[in-house]
């Protein structure tokens, strides 16, 4: 089995000669999902043997000039030089798929596996081994999503490939923008605070949603820098509001950053710099991801809680909320996910569920915030159910923080 670098180097060598050889070169990621299972069910020796068999089978189905590398338990990377066009690539994938139709035997046990393939093509989809491999990987994901045997890389309108350097530079150069969405007190019908939301306009892709770049930051090491930026950008704006505004400032935190030391200190330091009291800040954490690193996150959260920082469980009801950790979690508020709020008006069953969540939260001394209120009728329903706060397009869309601050100060006088 070769490591990533060895495979990159081997591909790069072929690429260096591709122009000389003429034509296109395809990089194929071929996944055999069943291989991993064979190891688990029949033992690693059997798994290894099966892996070798599959390797042989792939080689036999291809031309002598093609190269096959074993890249993981169930992953093979294949280099197909001299491809004439997309059809030529599809022909190769069909030949491979046919090869997998025969049951193979490992010891005395016959077994059947299938292959799923993702392909990128040089020079159309990239000039270097790194980019070609990433794109072959993306095509493989796409084939799995669509339930197809083979997909050739294609950039969709909705799919944004985030380039690490571009996002890193945008964060470092403070090119992200901070937006505020108002949070309303549903009982007194006044603005009680804001939620801070990041916005990024990429030079290559235009407006990129945080739903894309936040998870990307979490997977790379950019999440710490994004969090630091988000805290400072939010508090800088908060400092421009009157100290007695009574507004709360909700900031989204990735659960990932709580497992690292220094997160609490960083927030405390920023509160000090911008002169914002800890009691005015709400740390929002998504409930789905909380399950990981619960222990280490808990210590940091308790420290913040002791200082008076409020803690909200975001998107409650969207994922795998567990009552067990709700019990131990030092939360002060529960944000009910917009999928429940959006459905409650037309579906009485969901309405009952939302009402039950509000009651449960109140029993546990948690305040409730409903997310994604898009209509007056939903707002009225929630207010009747006793929901404390609400947020949504009907009450106010996210807007540049500077606009929110200017408007607030115009009404109440500058700080």
List residues near Mg ion by CB under 5 A. 252, 284, 314-315, 371
Q: Output 181 or 297, the one with its CB closest to ligand C2E.
A: 181
Look up residue 173 and give its DSSP letter: T
Which residues lie closer than 8 Å to 10 by C-beta, 6 or more apart? 2, 67, 69, 79
Contact pick of 58, 214, 321, 387 for ligand C2E (by CB under 6 A): 214
CB of 338 to Mg ion, least distance (A): 7
**Which of ligand C2E, Mg ion, none binds 333 (CB below 5-8 Å, type-dependent)?**
none
Does the footprint of ligand C2E cover residue 374 (CB under 6 A)?
Answer: yes
Does the footprint of ligand C2E cover residue 181 (CB under 6 A)?
Answer: yes
In DSSP notation, 105-158 reads EETTEEE----EEEEEEETTT-SSHHHHHHHHHHHHHHHHHHT-SEEE----SS
Taking the alpha carbons at both ends of the chain, their separation in whole angstroms is 64
CB of 389 to ligand C2E, least distance (A): 13
CB of 178 to ligand C2E, least distance (A): 8
Tokens of 193: 């605070």
Show the site string, 240-259: x = touches ligand C2E by CB under 6 A, - = not. ------------xxx-----
Inter-residue contact 234 to 251 (CB < 8 Å): yes
Contact pick of 77, 104, 113, 197 for ligand C2E (by CB under 6 A): 197
Stretch in the footprint of ligand C2E (CB under 6 A) among 118-126, 167-175, 324-332, 368-376: 368-376
Tokens of 395: 């009450």
Binding residues for ligand C2E restricted to 45-84, rule: CB under 6 A: none
Look up residue 82 and give its DSSP letter: E
- Rounded distance between C-alpha atoms, residue 260 and residue 70, angstroms: 35
Does the footprint of ligand C2E cover residue 237 (CB under 6 A)?
Answer: no
Helix intervals (H) in 194-293: 210-219, 223-238, 255-258, 263-274, 287-290
**Which of ligand C2E, Mg ion, none binds 211 (CB below 5-8 Å, type-dependent)?**
ligand C2E
**CA atoms 261, 267, 270, 272: torsion sign:** negative
Binding residues for ligand C2E restricted to 307-326, rule: CB under 6 A: 314-315
CA dist list (Å): 69 to 49, 74, 101: 16, 11, 21
Q: Output 216 or 329, the one with its CB closest to ligand C2E.
A: 216
Contacts with ligand C2E, residue ranges (CB under 6 A)? 181, 197-198, 209-211, 214, 226, 230, 252-254, 284, 286, 314-315, 338, 371-374, 391-393, 398
């Amino acid at each position: 089995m070769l490591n990533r670098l060895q495979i990159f180097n081997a591909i790069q060598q072929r690429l260096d000669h591709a122009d000389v050889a003429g034509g296109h070169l395809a990089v194929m990621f071929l996944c055999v999902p069943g291989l991993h299972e064979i190891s688990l069910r029949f033992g690693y020796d059997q798994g290894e043997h099966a892996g070798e068999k599959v390797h042989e089978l792939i080689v036999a189905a291809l031309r002598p000039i093609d190269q096959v590398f074993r890249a993981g338990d169930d992953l093979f990377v294949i280099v197909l030089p001299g491809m004439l066009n997309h059809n030529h690539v599809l022909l190769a994938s069909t030949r491979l798929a046919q090869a997998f139709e025969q049951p193979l035997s490992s010891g005395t046990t016959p077994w059947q596996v299938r292959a799923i393939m993702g392909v990128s093509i040089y020079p159309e989809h990239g000039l270097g081994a790194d980019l070609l491999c990433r794109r072959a990987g993306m095509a493989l994901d796409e084939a799995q999503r669509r339930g197809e045997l083979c997909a050739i890389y294609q950039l969709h309108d909705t799919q944004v490939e985030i380039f690490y350097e571009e996002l890193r530079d945008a964060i470092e150069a403070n090119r992200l923008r901070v937006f505020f969405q108002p949070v309303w007190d549903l009982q007194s019908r006044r603005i009680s605070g804001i939620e801070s939301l990041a916005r990024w306009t990429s030079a290559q892709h235009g407006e990129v949603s945080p739903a894309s770049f936040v998870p990307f930051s979490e997977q790379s090491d950019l999440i710490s820098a994004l969090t630091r930026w988000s805290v400072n950008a939010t508090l800088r704006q908060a400092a421009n509001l009157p100290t007695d505004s009574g507004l709360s400032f909700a900031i989204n935190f990735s659960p990932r950053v709580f497992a690292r030391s220094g997160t609490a200190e960083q927030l405390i330091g920023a509160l000090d710099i911008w002169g914002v009291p800890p009691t005015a800040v709400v740390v929002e954490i998504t409930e789905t991801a909380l399950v990981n690193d619960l222990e280490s996150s808990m210590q940091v959260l308790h420290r913040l809680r002791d200082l008076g920082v409020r803690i909200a469980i975001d998107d409650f009801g969207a994922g795998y909320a567990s009552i067990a950790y709700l019990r131990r979690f030092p939360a002060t508020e529960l944000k009910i996910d917009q999928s429940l709020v959006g459905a409650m008006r037309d579906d009485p069953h969901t309405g009952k569920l939302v009402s039950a969540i509000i009651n449960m939260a109140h029993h546990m001394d948690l305040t409730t915030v409903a997310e994604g209120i898009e209509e007056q009728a939903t707002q009225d329903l929630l207010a009747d159910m006793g929901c404390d706060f609400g947020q949504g397009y009907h009450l106010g869309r996210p807007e540049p923080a500077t606009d929110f601050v200017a408007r607030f100060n115009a009404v109440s006088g500058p700080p």
